[in-house]
Amino acid sequence: MGRFISAYGWRAYAIPVLVALTIALLVVTVQNTEKAPAVASEPSDEVRNTHVDEETTAIGAPTGQIQEAALPAGALPAGGEFTTKGEKVYRIVPGRGPKVGTGKQLYTYTVEVERGIDPAEYGGERAFAKLVDATLANPKSWIGADKVSFQRVDSGEPDLRISLSSTGTARELCGYQIKLETSCYYPPDARVVLNEARWVRGALAFEGDDVAYRQYLVNHEVGHGIGYDKHQVCKQNGALAPIMMQQSFGTANAQIMALDSDMKDVDRSLTCKANAWPYPTKA
């Protein structure tokens, strides 16, 4: 040891320090990697119902018998005014657009607003249409898997009618067995029913981020419209929630499992983070 120190001088003392620092850096790196939020499980074509438009009842609305203790997570947050009773007739918002996405299966869509809804409540039909268009054109949305594409039209018979709806009409189309404001897909009309109450006020899980929630609402209900008729649950604690999770009512399995009779053998302990996108890692 004496000869080693004599040969290398001060560097002999520096080597153990450098080793210790390297080990400490590795430990911190591993810890930070473990703490990084996991990505959401992406939708799979294996669970896609290609005959969804043959259904005769609403898809996506809660069906279970909810307990009073589960209501707070899905309660409508405080906020702006919304229309409780519209005219049950929809107006197509004028506007056409180019095809977005490279997927072979093209879905045409109209953007529609129920007559009787006050434009001042939701920012007007042009702003509504702009957000719908921008959401579906985002590579993090359904076009991200290169399986489907979208194109906005304003005439003819579209594949999807993305429709802002009053709470009364949403309840009529989606059901109101569970006393929570919900949205859904209504196959007989090819109608993506977006509840205006949710559009205006959002959901507690999104912690006041109204834009992210609206993106989620469009992506989730359009997901039902293109065949993802089953809901998903949180599969990894701390991960981004799957887009087909009922995030309007919470991002914890314990909050949502009572809302859907198909949810069985679910790990109630898992909680995810709010997520607006089917493919959140796409650039």
In this predicted structure, what is the pLDDT of residue 34? 44
Provide, for the chain, the percentages of residues in helix, strand and coil under a 3-state DSSP scheme, each rounded to the nearest 5.
Answer: 40, 15, 45
- The first and second tokens of residue 177, run together, are 């067995």
36 pLDDT tier (thresholds 50, 70, 90): very low
Instruction: Give percent above pLDDT 70 in the chain.
Output: 83
Answer yes or no: is pLDDT of 168 > 80: yes
pLDDT digits (tens, 9 = 90+) for 182-199: 999 999 999 999 999 999
Cα(1)–Cα(4) distance, integer angstroms:
5
Domain-by-domain residue ranges, the chain? 2-35, 45-259
Answer yes or no: is pLDDT of 272 > 50: yes
Answer yes or no: is pLDDT of 69 > 70: no
